[in-house]
Amino acid sequence: MGIFGNLFEKKTCAICGGEIGLLGNRKLEDGNLCKACAAKLSPFFSDRRRSTVEQIREQLDYREANKAAVTALNVTRTLGDRTKILLDEDAQRFVVTPSGGRWRDSNPDVMSFSQVTGCNVDVRTTREELYREGPDGERVSYDPPRYDTDYDIYVIINVNTPYFDEIEFRINSMRIESPGSPDYQSAMDQAREIKEALTSVRENVRAAVAEAAAPKAAVVCPHCGATTMPDANGRCEYCGGAVA
């Protein structure tokens, strides 16, 4: 009775206070979470069972605030097909979202270019042995063995966020049977474009930060002849003339 008693015992969501149905419980380290509240978490978050109620509250607060960032995102470049990378190059932000539908409605995580720590392309193979029928109808291996091999192209984006550190998605929507096929080449081209773009924007951000942190050198103002340290607008601190 003890086991079944725990199974059918009514549970309450630690976040919204609602009653959790028999199959709707999502366990936390120190409480329970209903299916509706769990659906509001980041789709890239995978550490729910080891998270406390307080940590889940913090993430849900972040997810609520993220809606404003989604609304403000002005997409200037789109990468990918099955999964899309939408970039706002002016604000130096991006989202990763499935294609189709109204992407803003899913509240995708808005991340800055500076949060990208790496991006890689991974080719994964699935191999299944082929057999022939023996004289008595039994399944017999070929000699040497033959295999049916499929290829899947994945992109893995490493990011620095409080709630997840990796975004992984498959590029191809259908099975790829040959590494020399047009489908394989198209998927690889798409994956490499995503990797190159995210690597490039991250490097640009790093370069800008390094430049801003570099000590400024004194120059001679061509207008007043004074030796000056240009201000933030590149102007002479004495006469205000443009020196940089």
CA dihedral 160, 162, 168, 173 (to 10 degrees): -120
Residue ranges per structural domain of the chain: 9-71, 214-243
Residue with token string 């991340």: 111
CB 97 within 8 A of CB 106: yes
Instruction: Identify the CA nearest to 19 among candidates 3, 36, 2.
Output: 36
Range of 7-11, 33-37, 211-215 with top mean pLDDT: 33-37
Residue 9 pLDDT > 70, yes or no?
Answer: yes
Long-range contacts of 10-14 (CB under 8 A, 24+ apart): 13/37, 14/53, 14/56
CB 126 within 8 A of CB 147: no
Residue 140 pLDDT > 80, yes or no?
Answer: yes
Residue 222 pLDDT > 50, yes or no?
Answer: yes
Least confident of 156-170, 179-193, 223-237: 223-237
Q: What is the arithmetic mean of pLDDT over 198-211?
A: 83
Residue with token string 């130096």: 92
Least confident of 77-86, 158-167, 222-231: 222-231
pLDDT, mean over the chain = 89
pLDDT at residue number 6: 57
- Please give the model's pTM, rounded to 2 decimal places: 0.79
CB atoms within 10 A of CB 60: 18
As a whole number of angstroms, the distance between CA 150 and CA 184 comes to: 10
When pLDDT is cut at 50, 70 and 90, the band that residue 1 belongs to is very low
Write the pLDDT tens digit of every residue in 61-82.
999 999 999 999 999 999 999 9
